Structure 1
């Protein structure tokens, strides 16, 4: 095996691609030292994703109890309610932060003391697979790194990107309507114009400095040492800047991700890289790379708005036709499927999939339901909606509608995530059917707060124990679906899949895994009508609906002779049978 210092080693080659020779040489040396440092501190732990992997997405202070670290309270909640059902947890940035719900990080290597300490993080990672955020495109303006830069510390002078405000930056893609350059005053009173892609409080790092790369990798290794096995690369598409380009999805960005993965795998080959690129679908999937060298999982960002569109219109034609285009470059990568997250429902990922009129229809409906809209700046100076800020259940239904309808539509959307090929990610608020948090928006002035309400644990426990409450109904039903899914190998994220077009109101996924002879045909009715369909001849009978009964112990609801399937409004059906060929 080649040593990293060997010019033929891929890490060495990547560093020389990114940096001039004299800088690359120093970068190689610092990376070798970093790997040596952590090889004595991290023990590799082989792990392979399966159908049992379900990731809960939550804030570290999502549930709170007086005089108790919120991370401890969260772990207790997980152990009391979700142990054996959900095996992984994505704790959104738990580092000290100055804004944006944790995504303006002040110190990469610390835990916000209001949430707890590294001890609580290690306790959680002992019970669950831990996913953490690499918020590595930018740091807080209040971070020690940026303070040192403004103070004139020579070591940090190349950590950030200062630009003459007269520079032509018109080609740069803007994900926000805020200025690209923000003014800061250094300790000598000089005005500095600094690159800030997302906000003034999120100062972009300069990866053309090899020291930035080295120190960011140091923090990522530290997360692994503390128990992380999945690392989400936040806003990674914007990480490399090159004047005269759009400064998004640059070749150097992909090279950098591939380098990071390879360096981390030198010490911990089980670590999974997940890229967060809320961009049009064809750009998003480019982060799979060759299928063996870049992200192992990519957020399936087009799915949340397409599900909203399909349920609002009671029509799955676009959803099905889009799903039929889904391909993977290898059997070593998969999608990370979700409906809701700490952010809103992104609209950029459906560019080219839905028409402007269809997007506007979603926007209008969400606003009717009490949701909000966030905008981004276009090249011509206009603003277009890029994100819907709304709880997912309120995106699907008007809050004034009957809770039974609201529950059925919400569970339908969540069940669809569970049967999509890949690994499901479940936002905490989806588990309990949370509604729009308007008071939070009024208090914070931030649209995204509408889907970020935090709960007192005693209040939540009471809601989850109240028969007939929307929270309990949603929570119990969701857990039941997950419990069934994790025991069916056909849902393995690396299995074979295809999408069937049986009716414009139905969404149908046919899946099998590996050498297992079982298949599952998931049929979901997106309409408020009774729908019948006929299964293709190449699907072997008998079939049993595993949502209605245990097919081994009590084989009721078995389709033995007839291929005609009838579904009630919003019904979910998972038919288990044997494989011929998929």
Structure 2
């Protein structure tokens, strides 16, 4: 736990900050009881002058997303093996690590948590986690919506014992729940045998993941305790998993309710007084406008996942044109001050399809799904209010999703995949790379068959020895992709124009196959034109169309080549990217020579 010698914020000041948020959730009587308990819980950690930290990130921040056992060996625990891999291969590449839930669990690969305060002994222990945190900024998951049916709290519920007796939602089995937004096809209510007979409890995600009842202030208090514990163990980012479903109110959709936003704001305000350097990130895999609401009025999430990016970028590469991706980019407002987008193209989950609503026409949507099926994907479904089902996410390794286009499989898989990652790390926001993207991991069909779960196709666990052999083979996809993406990330981290909050402006080349946008540093001393050929054909780029300032000296950061003739016409090879800049912040001594890229692009 975080400790100081004495509280540095009075109860009155603490109450003045927290009470207005809690009044949107709880009654006056409940708040009068809750506030002294909250203060007692947090007072040893409160700071007197905890001003908002607007410097939580810059262009140097790059995160990795991984399970604790994505790489396993016989001689060390999985978390120790992960730490060794990070230090050997990624110490100069990523600055932070999101270790997906590493707690004891009963299902859903960690997201059905049995004990929020312990490390799964099959992965390691808190010392292993904290050791990684000494080299990398850590992100922890706060799985705040639900808990495992095998947890102590739920056992207490079943035996009518405190405190868990009052931590869950039990309703008559015939309760009308048709309006409830469903991320799964399983029932909302699950029958459970308890000391008092069969009860039907709320289970948004699965029968093993029982939703918590935030109408009970004690549940809120429990999660403040958990947040403080995570910060004490070194968390610099706290990811609020499935947080949109937090509050339930019958007769509503039970997602994004005002009470949910108020609870997140209360979490943030408490964190602000404890450690203003810690960032909250909300995980809400929903259409874009709903997702943006989690910035609040600069008083809610510090970061939100850019969930529209993965399906729209993948569709653009499948179709060989940038129009829908550009439409979305132009609709995105700059992140508010003190906030940032969290950019990713792949994660432990599938590629969410709800964020494409209103952006892709039905025929193109269906073509994307059919194409992915041809590349080995599974399609997960969700239940709608009318009882029908619709595609919810594509389950596939992103590397295998790039096997080809809507026309079929081709020879451009590596180039197409690297292009996808280069686009992602160029956009406004903080880039995050799934470990299996950096390692070009293919579909794990055997793993999916073994678990019977679609998402296992993209949750491979590498054997440390086999992975080392692949990375030692310079011709393997794993070695090629890791080497090139590491090089690009290292270049990107030095460019002020790639600050997460630097200006972004979408350009409009006549050729729909070319995606182009302009980034400018906050100090306006660097511009980068990020240009990408999204197709499997060469395309010409007229530099005159970019209106480059002719008094500046320009170069392509990716190839390292100078750009001397601003009227020149370049031929972009299939899936080639360019970062044209007038002020390179670039130390070539630590990155491979650009001639190593001749296997990818025809560089003059």
Q: TM-score interval w.r.t. the shorter chain?
A: over 0.9
Does the 8 Å CA contact 1:35/1:266 hold for their aligned counterparts?
no
Q: Is 1:397 the counterpart of 2:397 in the alignment?
A: no
> Partner residue of 1:324?
330
Q: Is 1:143 the counterpart of 2:159 in the alignment?
A: no
**Structure 2 counterpart SS, 1:139:** strand
> Partner residue of 1:526?
534
Distance change >3 Å, CA 187–CA 401, structure 1 → 2: same
Candidates 557, 561, 567, aligned match of 2:566:
561
Distance change >3 Å, CA 8–CA 456, structure 1 → 2: closer
Candidates 537, 553, 556, aligned match of 1:545:
556
Q: How far off is 1:154 after superposition?
A: 3.3
- d(CA) in 2 for partners of 1:573, 1:343: 30
- d(CA) in 1 for partners of 2:51, 2:345: 32
Candidates 97, 102, 123, aligned match of 1:115:
123
- d(CA) in 1 for partners of 2:139, 2:182: 28
Candidates 569, 573, 580, aligned match of 1:575:
580
- d(CA) in 1 for partners of 2:566, 2:393: 47
Does the 8 Å CA contact 2:106/2:148 hold for their aligned counterparts?
yes
Distance change >3 Å, CA 116–CA 321, structure 1 → 2: same
Q: How far off is 1:16 after superposition?
A: 2.0
- d(CA) in 2 for partners of 1:105, 1:460: 29
5 Å matches for 1:213-362?
A: 213-290=220-297, 292-328=298-334, 330-362=336-368
- d(CA) in 2 for partners of 1:453, 1:16: 45
**Structure 1 counterpart SS, 2:153:** helix
Output one character per residue of 1:270-324: Cα deviation in whole Å (capped at 9) or x when no partner.
110110000111111111111x201111100010001111011001111112101
Distance change >3 Å, CA 65–CA 45, structure 1 → 2: farther
Distance change >3 Å, CA 343–CA 329, structure 1 → 2: closer
Does the 8 Å CA contact 2:9/2:43 hold for their aligned counterparts?
no
- d(CA) in 1 for partners of 2:15, 2:205: 38
Show structure 2 runs of 5+ residues with no match: 1-7, 585-604
Show structure 1 runs of 5+ residues with no match: 550-555
Distance change >3 Å, CA 489–CA 537, structure 1 → 2: closer
Q: Is 1:62 the counterpart of 2:70 in the alignment?
A: yes
5 Å matches for 1:11-26?
A: 11-26=18-33
> Partner residue of 2:502?
495
- d(CA) in 1 for partners of 2:348, 2:163: 35
Does the 8 Å CA contact 2:444/2:457 hold for their aligned counterparts?
yes
- d(CA) in 2 for partners of 1:529, 1:443: 39
Candidates 484, 490, 494, aligned match of 2:491:
484
> Partner residue of 1:376?
382
> Partner residue of 2:525?
517
Does the 8 Å CA contact 2:159/2:165 hold for their aligned counterparts?
no
Does the 8 Å CA contact 1:489/1:516 hold for their aligned counterparts?
no
**Structure 2 counterpart SS, 1:17:** coil
Output one character per residue of 1:165-213: Cα deviation in whole Å (capped at 9) or x when no partner.
222212111111100000110134x001000000001000111111111
**Structure 1 counterpart SS, 2:269:** helix
Q: Is 1:415 the counterpart of 2:416 in the alignment?
A: no
Output one character per residue of 1:438-461: Cα deviation in whole Å (capped at 9) or x when no partner.
101111000000000101111101
> Partner residue of 1:552?
none
Q: How far off is 1:536 after superposition?
A: 3.7
- d(CA) in 1 for partners of 2:134, 2:155: 35
Does the 8 Å CA contact 1:60/1:92 hold for their aligned counterparts?
yes
Greater Cα shift, 505-514 or 194-203:
505-514
**What's the TM-score, normalizing by structure 2?**
0.91
**Structure 2 counterpart SS, 1:231:** strand
**Structure 1 counterpart SS, 2:252:** coil
- d(CA) in 1 for partners of 2:377, 2:421: 19
Query: What's the C-alpha RMSD, in Å, of the aligned pairs?
Result: 2.0
Does the 8 Å CA contact 2:548/2:566 hold for their aligned counterparts?
no
Does the 8 Å CA contact 1:7/1:13 hold for their aligned counterparts?
no
**What's the TM-score, normalizing by structure 1?**
0.94
> Partner residue of 1:553?
none
- d(CA) in 2 for partners of 1:563, 1:163: 70
- d(CA) in 2 for partners of 1:22, 1:156: 21
Does the 8 Å CA contact 2:189/2:200 hold for their aligned counterparts?
yes
**Structure 2 counterpart SS, 1:154:** coil
Distance change >3 Å, CA 2–CA 223, structure 1 → 2: closer
Candidates 192, 198, 215, aligned match of 1:208:
215
Candidates 503, 515, 523, aligned match of 1:507:
515
- d(CA) in 1 for partners of 2:376, 2:163: 49
- d(CA) in 2 for partners of 1:54, 1:309: 25
Runs of 4+ in 1 over 6 A off after TM superposition: 43-46
